[in-house]
């Protein structure tokens, strides 16, 4: 009887610990704009792949993204700016509602992070060109909050040869 009581008390401490840990973890999870971007990135239907290929590419030499491999897709609105070979048209300006998702892979099979550009000028997280910058790990934790408005991204994505901030054409001609 007494040992039963001890077991119950131990169990309660254990459960309490798990609850505390999981509620802390929740704080790092995507919320607000980040959560919206994360949900949009996970829904893969209706996208077109860069150069019509879902094969993984090696991250380029100019990449600011630490993962080894990547592949990039465009939602139906963004895909209107792709030419017949699946590359971005020269001089393109993406229309409102465009979503570009770069899937970053840690290795050949493990998706590590989503890097996203979402043209949504009405968002309070949009930059001067109307882009919202998302950087969210595959598990839903936030690598760089959208509220930073691309401050960690824009200088590199403004380099010569970008098209409306896009660098895929330049590094994967």
> Is 119 near ligand HEC (CB under 6 A)?
no
Checking 160-167 for CB contacts under 8 A at 24+ apart, the result is: 163/88, 163/89, 163/90, 163/91, 163/92, 164/81, 164/88, 164/92, 164/93, 164/94, 164/129, 165/117, 165/129, 165/131, 166/88, 166/92, 166/100, 166/117, 167/62
Q: Which is nearer to ligand HEC, 22 or 61 (CB)?
A: 61
CB of 20 to ligand HEC, least distance (A): 31
- Min CB(128)–ligand HEC separation in Å: 16
Identify which range of 5-13, 31-39, 60-68, 123-131 contacts ligand HEC by CB under 6 A: 60-68
Does the protein bind ligand HEC through residue 94 (CB under 6 A)? no
Q: In the complex with ligand HEC, which residue's Cβ is closer, 61 or 109?
A: 61
- Closest approach, Cβ 138 to ligand HEC, in A, equals 15
Residues 65-75 as b/e (b if ≥16 CB within 10 A, e otherwise) read bebbbbbbbbb
- Give residue number: closest CB to ligand HEC: 64
Cα–Cα distance between 86 and 36 in angstroms, integer? 26
* Rounded Cα distance, 49 and 33, in Å: 24
Binding pattern for the stretch 70-89 against ligand HEC, x by CB under 6 A and - elsewhere? x-x-----------------
69 binds ligand HEC (CB under 6 A): no
144 binds ligand HEC (CB under 6 A): yes
């Amino acid at each position: 009887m007494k040992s039963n009581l001890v077991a119950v008390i131990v169990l309660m401490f254990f459960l309490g610990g798990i609850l505390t840990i999981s509620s802390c973890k929740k704080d790092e999870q995507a919320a607000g704009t980040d959560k919206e971007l994360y949900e949009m990135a996970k829904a893969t239907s209706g996208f077109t792949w860069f150069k019509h290929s879902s094969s993984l590419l090696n991250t380029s030499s100019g990449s600011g993204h630490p993962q080894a491999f990547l592949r990039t897709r465009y939602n139906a609105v963004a895909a209107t700016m792709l030419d017949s070979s699946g590359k971005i048209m020269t001089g393109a300006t993406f229309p409102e509602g465009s979503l570009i998702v770069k899937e970053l892979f840690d290795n050949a099979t493990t998706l590590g992070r989503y890097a996203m550009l979402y043209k949504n000028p009405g968002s309070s997280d949009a930059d001067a060109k109307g882009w919202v910058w998302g950087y969210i790990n595959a598990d839903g934790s936030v690598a760089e909050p959208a509220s930073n408005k691309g401050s960690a991204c824009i200088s590199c994505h403004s380099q010569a040869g970008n098209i409306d901030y896009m660098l895929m054409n330049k590094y994967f001609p």
